[in-house]
Structure 1
Amino acid sequence: MRSMVTIIALLVLLFLGSCVSELDPVMMPSINMSTIDGTVGLDVTATKQVIEGVYKVVSEESTTSRFDSIISVNLASNGEVNMYSTTGVTYFTMYGGTRSDSGVFVGRWRGVQGPSAGSITMIVRPDEGGIELAKGVAAAKDLTLRCQTRSGNGNGTQTLVLRRVAKLNEDLKDFQIIAHRGGGRNSERLGVSENGIAMMLLAPQLGATGIEIDVIGTKDGTPIVFHDPDFTSRTIKGSYIIGPVKNYTLEQIGHYVRLINGERIPTLEEALDSVIDRTELQMVWLDVKDAFIVDRILTIQKAANARSKTKGRDLKIYFGVPTTDIKRAFDASPENEGVDVLCELDAQTALDMGAEVWAPRFTDGLQQGLAESMIDAGIRVFVWTLDDAAFIEQFLSPRYKGKLLYTGILTNYPTLLASRFYTLKVKP
């Protein structure tokens, strides 16, 4: 009888899985890279101070208005120019460089809360900061970027003239924009899967400075990066494996399971290696789901810390403590010395553990007095999970001793948080 019930339950799960509707990923348009032929890539060290900043839209010609009147511009160490707009929760990624007295860039834009996407071309004229950009010297406050955007289907163009009005938010070096589940839980239409390596590599373009990843154990005790305790059609493709993750070995998972967009499920070691070698991310929050793999996670965390240092990376990896079960396993582990801890439990527990970060959920409110006492004790305060602009601004507002009270926010929309954070002190 019990076996019959099990079979029926599996059939129901398979049926429900077949009924799950999937939205196709938004197709990003091709871009004409010949536009930037003959340009010299930006010297990031020299030009970072020239081009980064907060820009206002001072002129606009369009068949439809898609973007904010305030846009932030960031320069990555690989020379990518990234811009963020709150309207449409839009990020732009551009490539290019300078000619003798001007700048030329091409790239794509994407609104992550819907299907909007398109291409962008940007120029910097000689008399509007192009000479300074080419020389890598500080430009005047009103550096001007002339952009033409086009929607993915080719219909609807928008010409924007952006003028720099301020530096980026000065709290940047102390603040973490933390992307949930490797880059954003609501990532189905980006064409990459939550907690997958491709998602982690995309996270910096979305505006993230750090990521949170979920760590769960296989039958043979290998920590893998996956959120749910069970394999279902929400997160995987595969007809032969369903049910609890802990019922399957790493070999079985590697052979039969793919994430929803076709990627392999990474091990924790693979994920951390990719972050260290292939991104500029400043932090990783390990959201530990299973107590039986705590020793192994701590060993991997220590090895990743050591490897990061040998490569000259200033990367923080936090062992997350979300439950009392994980805390007990951490306390009992012989590997618990010399690792950074992020505690989601009550403030006193974070103090008792000697945690580097206390991370309460946002539904507990601002808790300003308690947060201030934690900062006085040398503990940073993060908050999770904020996806609404009004709540984000609420937690970006309080300050203590001249700095932001909350110095890290976990979000499914790092682009939204980046656009609000970088432009915090500039009014439309």
Structure 2
Amino acid sequence: MKVKALAHRGYSAKYPENTLSSFRAAYDLGFTHLELDVHLSKDGVPVLMHDLRIDRTTNGKGFVKDYTYEELKQFRVGDRETIPTLEEALRFAKDKMRVCIELKQKGNWYPGLEETVLQVIEETGMLKQVYVNSFDHFAVQKMRSLSKDIELGLIQYGITPSVIPFMKEIDATYLSFRVEFLTDEYVKACRDAGIQVVVWPVDTEWQFKKVSRYPSVLSTTNQLERFKRLCEKLVQQ
């Protein structure tokens, strides 16, 4: 069964997040979308990590941006894996899954992040198979200035009507926010504006029930097997 939802950092509840094993597990479970987080190494290589620092998910310490790519590859994620590059992830997902790339930009924390990520997307032939989003809306705006063809999205915790005109201005089509803020009115406003709503997290049964009222909404989940079981149960009803 194909599961139309975003696997958050892959199957992050069971495998090391933002790793190839985590992505492979999501694909094997039938998930159609993959979400991952991108930073920039000291020497300008886009690498996958959620936090600004590597402390939580590797056996190393410090900021991602303070290490070269080769230095980052010396650290371990989980027992055996290394920190993947964006290129490795996109080559894995090509012709398999749609990819949501979150830019972990904060102001100008990573000079050149947007340009470098776009270059990797184009070089891997993934322009039509990804969309790029961020909490940093200036980063998304910059990405639009670099490419008129790439699909874009914004992330925010809550909901606001003011973001819709801005999304039209930069031609962004995905809007992600927390599941608690999902309402009939906002879903309709986004649908009328041609915006795809994406909510997170959808890990519990009450969250799933809330989202299931809106077939057009995409869910982001960490609990992939549970989410899949709930989807199968819904289909059988």
How far apart are residue 216 of structure 1 and its match? 0.7
* Counterpart residue number, 1:224: 47
SS of residue in 2 equivalent to 1:182: coil
Match of 2:99 among 281, 284, 300: 284
Higher relative contact order by CA 8 Å / sep ≥ 6: 1 or 2? Answer: 2
Q: Is the 8 A contact 2:10 2:25 kept in 1?
A: no
Aligned to 1:357, which of 171, 174, 183?
Answer: 174
Unaligned runs of 5+ in 2: 157-162
1:252 has 2:71 as partner = yes
Match of 2:7 in 1: 179
1:204 aligns with 2:27: yes
CA deviations on 1:258-309 (whole Å, 9 max, x unpaired) are 21232111110111001116xx32x1110110252111111222333x368x
Q: Deviations over 1:232-272 (max 9, x none)?
A: 1x31124xxx2111111112112x21212321111101110
1:319 is the counterpart of 2:132? yes
Letter in 2 for 1:244: F
Query: 1:182, 1:196 within 8 Å by CA — same for their partners in 2?
Result: yes
For structure 1, the residue ranges without an aligned partner over 5 or more in a row are 1-73, 75-171, 309-314, 399-403
Q: CA deviation at 1:425?
A: 4.3
| 1:237 matched to 2:59 | yes
Give, in angstroms, the shift of residue 341 of structure 1: 0.8
Q: Deviations over 1:313-351 (max 9, x none)?
A: xx63111122234235335x4x22210112224333323
Task: Name the CA distance, whole Å, in 2 between partners of 1:374 and 1:302.
Answer: 29
- Decide which of 267, 278, 281 is 2:85's aligned counterpart: 267
Aligned residue pairs total 226
TM-score normalised by structure 2 residue count:
0.86
Which one has a bigger Cα radius of gyration? 1
Q: Cα–Cα, structure 1 residues 383 and 203, in superposed 2: closer, same or farther, change >3 Å?
A: same
Letter of the 1:341 partner, please give it.
L
Match of 1:394 in 2: 210
Aligned to 2:155: 344
Residues 183 and 208 in structure 1, CA contact (< 8 A), matched pair in contact too: no
Q: Per-residue CA shift, 1:164-192, capped at 9, x if unaligned? A: xxxxxxxx7xx7211111222x22xxxx4
TM-score by length of 1: 0.49
- The SS at the match of 1:360 is strand
Query: Is the contact made by 1:321 and 1:344 (CA closer than 8 Å) also made in structure 2?
Result: yes
CA distance in structure 2 between the partners assigned to 1:272 and 1:297 by the alignment: 11
Letter in 2 for 1:298: L
Judge conservation of contact 1:386–1:392 (CA < 8 Å) in 2: yes
Q: Is the 8 A contact 1:393 1:420 kept in 2?
A: no
8 Å contact 2:99–2:130 — kept in the other structure?
yes
SS of 2:236's equivalent?
Answer: coil
State the percentage of identical aligned residues.
26
Query: Is the CA contact (8 Å cut-off) linking 2:131 and 2:150 kept in structure 1?
Result: yes
Q: Distance in 2 between matches of 1:231 and 1:425?
A: 40
Contact 1:223/1:267 (<8 A) preserved: yes
Structure 2 equivalent of residue 294 of structure 1: 114
Equivalent pair of 1:215/1:225 in contact (CA under 8 Å): yes
Paired residue type of 1:389? E
Secondary structure at 1:183 match in 2? coil
| CA pair 209-307 structure 1, distance change in 2 beyond 3 A | closer
CA contact (8 A) 1:302 1:339 kept: no
1:376 aligned partner: 192
Residues of 1 paired with 2:25 and 2:38: CA distance? Answer: 19
